[in-house]
Amino acid sequence: MQNETLATHIKNGTVAHSYLLIDRDILKLREIAKWFASHYNPADVFHLEDTPSIKVKETEEFIARAHLAAVGGKKLFIICDAATMTIAAQNKTLKTIEDTPADTTFLLLASSETPVLNTIKSRCVIIYPAPLNPSLTEKAMLDANPKSGQIFDAVLNLLTKCKSLDDALPHLPLLAKKENLPITLLAINHHANQLEIKKRHAVLKKLAQINRNVAAGCNHINAFDILLMEILS
């Protein structure tokens, strides 16, 4: 997934030392990061995965590689959700960003702007990716199913109002139906920003796994049950 600002910087040879991409849809940011990373030698791309709390130790191990020689001439360091970093971890990263080697770029993804230190923001090119429109395939899928609106409403209720399996039961015949499942998964991704950050990360990670399983032909009921348990846990 290409980003216009980053594409222009790549084309013009003006890639900055540090970027901060902010959007509630962390999966969208990951796709942009994946596209951006495709312009680097894979051996020169490093990821700091998001966890409920990225601490100093993980950050130190990650940024220690910033001063290593690049295999392909330039290195990319991707922090998969800077919003989950502790203040101490952010300050440790800030020191490296302030003294970034010439061959190194930091790409920080953030599902929320608020937790990110202003000192980090001031040293990054900040990008708010444009909202995603449904792809032609997704639009055709939504248009072909007359219950698309009901599915999106049911998913919103599932994510925001259901606290137990008993609460969710009225929605399951609609959401778990085989022909509705692709739209259910799309709606969960769309409405995931309604969840608190820790839960959102867990659900989106499980969603990515379920999407792969469904695409591979796995049993759709089992796939949905796994995702449902993550939502209600």
Indicate the range of 92-101, 140-149, 184-193 predicted with least confidence: 184-193
Q: Which amino acid belongs to residue 69?
A: A
C-alpha span between 94 and 108 (Å, rounded): 11
Answer yes or no: is pLDDT of 88 > 90: yes
3-state SS assignment for residue 48: strand
Answer yes or no: is pLDDT of 127 > 80: yes
Residue carrying the six token digits 């998969």: 80
**Per CATH, is 136-232 categorized as 1.20.272?**
yes
Identify the CATH number of the domain defined by range 4-127.
3.40.50.300
Task: Quickly list H helices, 64-180.
Answer: 87-98, 118-121, 136-144, 148-160, 165-168, 172-175
Q: Where are the domains of the chain?
A: 4-127, 136-232
pTM beyond 0.85: the answer is no
